[in-house]
A and B are shown apart, each in its own frame.
Chain A
Amino acid sequence: MNTNSQVKTARQAGLGQCLKCHKLNVITHKDQRCSCCQAKVSLRKYRSLEYTLAWTIAAIIAFFPANLYPIMIFTSLGTPEASTILSGIKTFIQLGMYPVALVVFIASFIVPLGKMLGLIILIITVKTGSKVDPKHRTQLYHLVEFLGPWSMLDVFVVALMAAVVNLGFITSIEAGPGISYFALMVIFTMFAAESFDPRLLWDNLDNDD
């Protein structure tokens, strides 16, 4: 068919690549250790799909309180005003600050949602043995992995604003409870991406032969 089927995989040769030091180990038993760096080594990451799914579900659960609770409380002359992620973006638009509105909307809303969706797509395509080009799905995985830390943006903005804007009665900014859930959500999706084994995307090809 194509060159893909001519390449032999390490798994077919009974070899497991160490994910830390890249050394190939002949896999003989469970809980084997790498002969070079002593890390745990196996053919594929242990229960990769189950762990990825579990972390993704945890992230989806945290997504709701993260968006419903205020992330920032702005107090001006004694009157507090709470804002959530979406209401904060709305304020930007009303003030005509479109570039920031776009950056924050992408980093704190689109990216987390996209990451969770991407992870679910990856899990489903592996489970159902999808024939979609594994090259594209590997690219999707790298995108999810790359985007991971960027959603922390809002957490850092709130932390910095709360520290800087501290002018007593005139104006002050405080963090809101939503920000903790938001940070949890980001960390959960990063764990999910870390648990996923991209080699699973290519295993369907081998099974055809």
Chain B
Amino acid sequence: MSAEPVNYDQMIACPQCDGLSTKPLLKEGQKAVCKRCGGKVLERKRDPIRRTLAVALAGLLLLIPATILPLIGVSAVGLFNQASLLDCIAILIANDYYLIAISLTIFTLAVPVIRLLAALYISWCIRMQRITPALVHFFRSYHQLDSWTMLHVFLLGIMVSMYKLVALAELSVGLGLVAFILLLICSTLVSVTLDKHYIWEQLEAGCEY
């Protein structure tokens, strides 16, 4: 029993502390924790493909109303103005605040959209058993996006703005806000339902180099 483990395919390392352990066989819904640092090493999610397909599709459908419908509006002395996410970006560009316009576009629009599209496409390909080497590169880029989605921060921004505006003018809430909140929920749920370990296993098995 003193022999060193040689088969690395049966081993797994902790992403936080590098501690090695043998890959546990998990049932759906179980997770494995690192002996050394207590961090999560492996997780198997329930019904990952079908759930991800449903949530990502719902998110993409909500995308257009969340972007073009007005989020909030103000009125004072007979004047009225409202703004959607797209208006915010347009006004920043008009005032030459390109860096902010680009940040806003990337963090609240581009990244969430690409994440939803990627999750939908990958889940669909795995369901249809159409695994290609290109898919591997595609899913690799998906990992980069996780920390750069800021829909939740934008929602807090909307709430702070509303609180500020109440003192200033009469406030109205647009349909865009409802769509935006639902989009945020779908975007968050995708990270909950999507099982990265499972997808990598499928991708590795599906295309041998």
Specify which chain A residues have a CB less than 8 angstroms from the CB of B11 in the assembled complex. Answer: 10, 15, 24
A201 close to B (CB within 8 Å) = yes
Contacts A24-B12, A135-B37 hold; do A198 and B79 have CB atoms under 8 A apart?
Answer: no
Say which size band chain A's interface belongs to: 35 or more
Q: How far is the CA of A179 from the CA of B102 in the complex (A)?
A: 13
Assess the B17–A198 pair: CB atoms within 8 A: yes
Nearest-neighbour CB distance to chain A for B208, whole angstroms, equals 10
Q: How far is the CA of A38 from the CA of B137 in the complex (A)?
A: 8
| CB < 8 Å A-B pair total | 211
Q: How far is the CA of A54 from the CA of B136 in the complex (A)?
A: 32
Specify which chain A residues have a CB less than 8 angstroms from the CB of B17 in the assembled complex. Answer: 9, 134, 138, 198-199, 201-202
A79 close to B (CB within 8 Å) = no
Which residues of A in the span 156-178 have a Cβ within 8 Å of any Cβ on B?
A: 156-168, 170-171, 174-175
30 contacts between A and B (CB under 8 A): A3-B36, A7-B21, A7-B35, A9-B18, A19-B15, A20-B143, A21-B203, A35-B209, A37-B203, A99-B163, A100-B160, A138-B16, A149-B148, A149-B150, A149-B152, A155-B100, A156-B158, A161-B165, A163-B83, A164-B72, A164-B74, A164-B82, A165-B74, A166-B91, A170-B79, A171-B76, A180-B100, A183-B100, A194-B147, A202-B37
**Further contacts, 20 of them, CB under 8 A, given A4-B36, A100-B160, A149-B150:** A19-B15, A19-B143, A22-B196, A24-B11, A39-B140, A149-B152, A156-B108, A156-B153, A156-B154, A160-B158, A161-B164, A162-B88, A164-B74, A165-B165, A175-B95, A180-B99, A198-B15, A199-B17, A202-B16, A202-B19
Q: Chain B interface (Cβ within 8 Å of chain A)?
A: 4, 8, 11-13, 15-21, 35-39, 71-74, 76-77, 79, 81-83, 87-92, 95, 97, 99-100, 103-104, 107-108, 136-137, 139-140, 143, 147-150, 152-154, 156-158, 160-161, 163-165, 167-169, 196-197, 200, 203-204, 209
The 9 lowest CB-CB distance pairs between A and B, nearest first, are: A156-B157, A163-B83, A10-B13, A202-B17, A17-B13, A163-B88, A9-B18, A199-B18, A7-B19
